A and B are shown apart, each in its own frame.
Chain A
Amino acid sequence: MNEHPVATGARFIGKRIQRKEDRRLLTGRGTYIDDVVVAGMLHAAFVRSNVARGQILRIDTTRARELAGVFAVYTAADLDRVACRPGNPVFDMPGCPPPDNGLLARTDARFVGDPVAIILATTRAIAEDAAALVEVDYRAEAPVIGIAAAKTMPPIHPHVTSNLVNAMDSGPDDEIDAIFATAAHVVEDTIRNCRQAHMPMETRGMVAVPDGTGELTIHAACQSPHLSALHIATAFNLNQQQVRIVGKDVGGGFGLKMSPQRDDLAVIAAAMLAGRPVKWIEDRLENLIAAGQSREDQMHVRLAFDSDHLLIAADVDYDCDFGAYPYAMQSSASLVTPMFPGPYRVPRYRWKAAGWYTNASGIVPYRGPWMMEMFARETMMDVAARQMGVDPIELRRKNIIGKPDQPFQTAAGFVLTDISPRETMDMTVAAIDVPAFRREQAQAREQGRYLGLGLANGIEPTTVSFGYFASDVAHVRIEANGRVTAMTTTFSQGHGTATSLAQVIAERLGVPFEDVTVVEGDSSRTGFGSGAGGSRQAVAGGGAAIKASDLLREKIERIAAYAYNASPDTVRIDNGVITIDGAPEVRSSVAEIAQMAYVAPDRLPPDMEMGLESQYRYRPPPMVMANATHACICEVDVETGKVSILRWVAGGDCGELINPSIVEGQIAGGVVQGIGGVLFEHLRYDEDGQPLAVTLKDYLLPTGLDVPRIEYRHMCTPSSTPGGFKGVGEGGAMISPPTLVNAIADALAPFGKRWLDMPLSPDRIVCGLDG
């Protein structure tokens, strides 16, 4: 256990404090990207390919250019005048050749939605009118749709030799075959997820403002102002300081807005060519077919157990459909297989992983991009339990590690520490009276009703700190009036970081929560940092805030001690009031100390610099682990295939909670996205590569009628970071799919079918029962 000394009597960490962001968001005064208006701006609309694969024979923009109000129609050849390297400096993977077809399709279209031309017009409506007037002739070719096709068909990108993007494996291991050959039980199957959309309620968008001196201001709906600035500066060969990314309110990200994509860069290039500010707001059709997608992957799993049902070996083979223009491919490929052993003892482990180009929208990391490790492992644990005739909870209990077992090195080489898988599972199971449920289930089955209980365990690797994600910075300043402004490299797309970090800073400084303002969302205001991504803001942003605040508190104490002729360790700061132990007559304030710091250098200790501000660049550990066990009870209507979720217990250990309501909000959002992925959400392509989900009537999201009331249980094993914090952003979305699938499979166990091909939508459940 870590001790976290608290500077003051006032505790803000751990409190359900109402969010600072809410007042403006509730009253319609937020500033989302479409709310940004710049004088003289033009509006952009794209012409996008309606074929999945085909040579571009002819593009005729004549009629579009002649339309009143149209400023320009640019094709690939036009944008080539602005030298741009669309590669992704943050996420490109060594040995993984990036697709190369320019910002707009130059010679051929590679998915339905591939941008072919961009229109700039005085209004969005005119830009869309003009887009409809652009004529494009294609010579359509048979597209590569799905992993099986990718393995056999010609490469979708002419400059690569096959559709294999990258492949990795754990190396030769002959002994594992012998283990499987002699194991008491071998369980084997393949789980297939289905293509899904991140679906932030605000689509992508930006306002790109070039100025005459070669600088760019970009108002962006992004997840990280700095990473976007770095990417754009690199793409257009600018200094990063020449690119200012500004963001205020962002309507959800979930991974989709981590990096600018080809169409974002095309908007910037168009603005540079035009010499005019350009606004582009993606519409929902574009968002569904071209923004990037996720979750089209599959894993073949073999598990070997001994006669006591102890896991003795695992062997997995993972494939992911990357689409045509993916980014951050390594986040799915490189964490899926290493994380597969999860919280269990797996003495022997072998894995293979491969990613494939196809003629679909590119894969973009979506909340827990490596979730297949949890999905496959936890569903297969239930398959194994049924096959071996043991209770799935007992099977897990036999194989799971607990706090006394740590540090524990997994078969994939990770060292598990500061987590509580066994203890959290026990906590979650205790919330459900399992024997009573089994009785209820048996009675219900006699009446033709099918109830099921599902449970899943998972470890969430958070704050993975590498490359450009290795550090974050906080700059905390007490103004001359005593108010606190913190400039941080966190960035909220709904996370409430301006609240959480204010809680941390107020507590560490000993000032009122109301006096702390967190400023984020402007790459020109702070040093470099990574923003939202990889569930890192509590640990990385919080760690930087703690360190910077502690430096500042120490300075306040030194100034107060000098001013009142006391020792710094007798200075107490509480609610902005400063007192001195043993000197009851002294009653100062942070505001008074700030006055001294800015305007009364004579009252400062000799050699102390003026001002009251600090900066700290915090480097988190390489990875901070959190863990969770969720359980759910559902009922499946075998006539209609409808799944009703009756209970959901979310047990988790994400260390010290800064604001439990915000933490629970992260868990709930993820859980419901995962529920959607199991029951409703499917971006299907037909054999011609045409997307079949093109409106929100085809791509169904969970509504308030589809969700359970989530019961939260918190375990607290602090991490070894300054606040004891852990990340929590993605685990809910990873753990809820196996939890729900296991409950459905348990409900339908009497029918003896397999339920490993997503989605388990009503029609597919009915077909599965009939088939």
Chain B
Amino acid sequence: MSLHFIEFELNGRQIEGTAEARRTLLDFLRGDAGCTGPHAGCEHGVCGACTVLVDGQAVRSCLMLAVQANGKKVETVEGLASGPDELHPVQQLFREEFALQCGFCTPGFLMTLVALDRAEPRPDAAEMREALSGHLCRCTGYQGVLRVVDRLAEDRK
């Protein structure tokens, strides 16, 4: 199995390491880079729990190889808040709206919503809900997440 040297920016810091060609970005982030926020829910790109931002785009890190991240800018849920005792505004909305229960799927929802929140032109609530249909949650029935989307859309008016 061939080993490859890779380096990329992870949550604002430059990191480097070696990875087998077949190693997924998800496994590299979790196993090598110490970022256990992205989760393996299905490992076939459906559930969305592994979602991270690569150059600002929400991607399924279980479907991307670690070597493909070489030279790119990767953001995970660990990098959202401005400090250890802070919450990103979207994280804060999740907390206020009880949008999580077990929390396993939550990092993926957050990353997709943060990407949408930054997007120009800004998507409306319906577009955000459409995007979130690529994320599965088994605990909440999505009720809190839908309220978060309402508030994000409201904030933009």
Point out residues on A near B: beta carbons under 8 Å.
16, 18-19, 21-23, 25-30, 32, 34-35, 125, 199-203, 249-252, 254, 281, 283-284, 492-496, 661-662, 664-665, 668-673, 695-697, 701-705, 707, 709-710
Contacts and interface: CB of A to CB of B under 8 A. Distances in A.
Given A201-B138, A704-B146, A21 B96 contact: no
A671 B141 contact: yes
Chain B CB within 10 Å — which of A26, A34, A709 has the most? A26
B27 to A, nearest CB: 8
17 contacts: A22-B95, A22-B100, A28-B38, A200-B104, A201-B102, A202-B41, A203-B41, A251-B105, A284-B44, A494-B139, A661-B98, A668-B140, A669-B141, A670-B141, A672-B141, A702-B141, A705-B130
B46 A201 contact: no
B87 to A, nearest CB: 6
B53 interface: no
Chain A CB within 10 Å — which of B102, B110, B135, B144 has the most? B102
A125 B95 CA distance: 36
B43 A283 contact: yes
B36 A28 contact: yes
A28 B38 CA distance: 7
Given A27-B78, A28-B77, A704-B129, 16 more contacts: A23-B95, A25-B100, A26-B94, A26-B100, A251-B39, A281-B40, A284-B44, A494-B103, A495-B101, A664-B143, A665-B140, A665-B144, A702-B142, A703-B132, A705-B130, A707-B142
A671 B136 CA distance: 15
A201 B104 contact: yes
Contact of B96 (A18, A672, A696): A18
Contacts of A251: 39, 102-105
A69 to B, nearest CB: 10
Given A200-B138, A669-B138, A30 B103 contact: yes
B102 A252 contact: yes
Chain A CB within 10 Å — which of B40, B80, B94 has the most? B40
Interface residues of B, number: 54
Given A251-B103, A668-B143, A669-B139, A125 B22 contact: yes
Interface in B2-54: 20, 22-23, 30, 35-44, 46-47, 49
Contacts of B104: 30, 32, 200-202, 249, 251-252
B60 to A, nearest CB: 12
Contacts of A29: 37, 78
B91 interface: yes
Contacts of A672: 140-142
A54 B129 CA distance: 47
Contacts of B98: 16, 19, 661-662, 664-665
A28 B107 contact: yes
Given A284-B44, A494-B139, A671-B141, A28 B102 contact: no
B61 interface: no
A696 B129 contact: no
Interface of B: 20, 22-23, 30, 35-44, 46-47, 49, 76-78, 80-81, 87, 91, 94-96, 98, 100-107, 110, 129-130, 132-146
B101 A26 contact: no
Contacts of A697: 44, 46
B109 to A, nearest CB: 9
A665 B37 contact: no
A478 B95 CA distance: 28
B105 to A, nearest CB: 5
A254 B138 contact: yes
A697 B44 CA distance: 9
Contacts of A252: 101-102, 104, 138-139
A653 to B, nearest CB: 20
A503 to B, nearest CB: 14
B80 A27 contact: yes
Given A201-B47, A703-B133, A32 B144 contact: no
A726 B100 CA distance: 22
A255 B49 CA distance: 21
Contacts of A701: 136, 138
A702 B146 CA distance: 14
B122 to A, nearest CB: 19
A176 to B, nearest CB: 40
A496 B110 CA distance: 20
A26 B95 contact: yes
Given A664-B143, A665-B143, A695-B44, A200 B102 contact: yes
A208 B145 CA distance: 35
B21 to A, nearest CB: 11
